[in-house]
Amino acid sequence: MTLVLPNLQEKQMGQVITTITVTNFIDLVMAERGFIAAEEVRSVTLDNVVVDTGATLLSLPAPIISQLGLRQVGERDVETSAGIKKGRIFAGAQIIVEGREGRFDCLELPEGVSAVLLGVIPMEELGLEPDLKNRRLRVLPMNNQQTYLMG
């Protein structure tokens, strides 16, 4: 979907879509320590991930969470377009986006929703921000001259 602004049609802005790899972090640790083979680490690369500044967490459909074997750590009230609903929270998702990686909790999306959403917490922690004009993720600086991290 593209947002068309009157009298600014050459300057259209739209959704930011990206690709992420999600891995079961516990599997990674188990493989690192020799308890399972590297081939047994559950991981999936997801295309067409919607960068959603209205979402807080990484949000995944139930079949992907099940495929990865993530561990449920609780339930929380979640604001959705249909009102406040209970959402299940899962831990142990390691994600790689634009060459940056981190471990995050994720929210299970309601049944019937197949989109994957990258929310603001993972983006902020990984130093990524949406560039709506160019419809891509911008990687913020992280070197010995500049850093996006604040102490």
Q: What is the pLDDT of residue 70?
A: 97
Q: Report CA-CA distances (Å) from 101 to 1, 6, 53, 110.
A: 28, 39, 19, 26
Q: What is the pLDDT of residue 9?
A: 42
Which stretches of the chain drop beneath a pLDDT of 70?
1-14, 80-81, 142-151
Q: What is the pLDDT of residue 54?
A: 87
Q: What is the pLDDT of residue 81?
A: 67
Q: What is the pLDDT of residue 10?
A: 45
Residues 142, 137: Cα–Cα separation, whole Å: 15
Q: What is the pLDDT of residue 66?
A: 96
Tokens of 89: 């929270």
Residues 60, 128: Cα–Cα separation, whole Å: 19
Unique residue bearing structure tokens 């992420």: 20
Residues 22, 42: Cα–Cα separation, whole Å: 9
Tokens of 64: 């992907």
Looking at the chain, how many residues does it have?
151
Any alpha helices (H) in the chain, and if so which ranges? 25-32, 62-68, 120-126
Q: What is the pLDDT of residue 110?
A: 81
Q: Using alpha carbons, select from 150, 119, 145 the residue that is nearest to residue 18.
A: 119
